[in-house]
Amino acid sequence: MSETVKIPLPRSLQEVAGALLFASETPLTASELRAAIKAVEPEEGANAEVMDVYHTCTAREVDEALKGLAKALEVAGCGFELVCAAGAYRIQTVPSCGRYVRAMLKLDRPNRLGRASLETLAIIAYRQPITKSEIEEIRGVDVSANVKTLVDLQLVRLVGKSELPGHPFLYGTTPLFLEHFGLSSLQQLNELDPTLQRSNPKQKAASYKRQDRKTELEAAADERSAQEAEEREAAKESLSPDTADKPGEESLQTQLDLAPDLGAGGADPSDEGPDADAGTATGSGSDDFFIDDTPDEFDDEDGDDEEENSDENDED
Instruction: Name the pTM for this structure.
Output: 0.49
pLDDT score at 282: 43
pLDDT score at 181: 84
pLDDT score at 183: 84
pLDDT score at 155: 93
Contact status, residue 299 vs residue 284, Cβ threshold 8 Å: no
pLDDT score at 214: 57
Per-residue pLDDT tens listing for the chain (316 residues): 455 556 666 778 888 899 999 999 888 999 999 999 888 877 665 566 667 777 778 888 899 999 999 999 999 888 999 988 888 899 989 989 988 988 898 887 767 788 999 999 999 999 989 999 999 999 999 999 999 999 999 999 999 998 888 889 999 999 889 888 888 888 888 765 555 555 555 555 555 555 556 566 677 777 778 888 887 777 777 665 554 445 444 555 555 555 555 444 444 444 444 444 444 444 444 444 444 555 554 455 455 555 555 555 555 4
Distance separating alpha carbons of residues 210 and 216, to the nearest angstrom: 10
Nearest Cα residue to 36 out of 52, 53, 48, 21: 21
pLDDT score at 227: 80
pLDDT score at 59: 86
pLDDT score at 283: 44
Distance separating alpha carbons of residues 128 and 124, to the nearest angstrom: 5
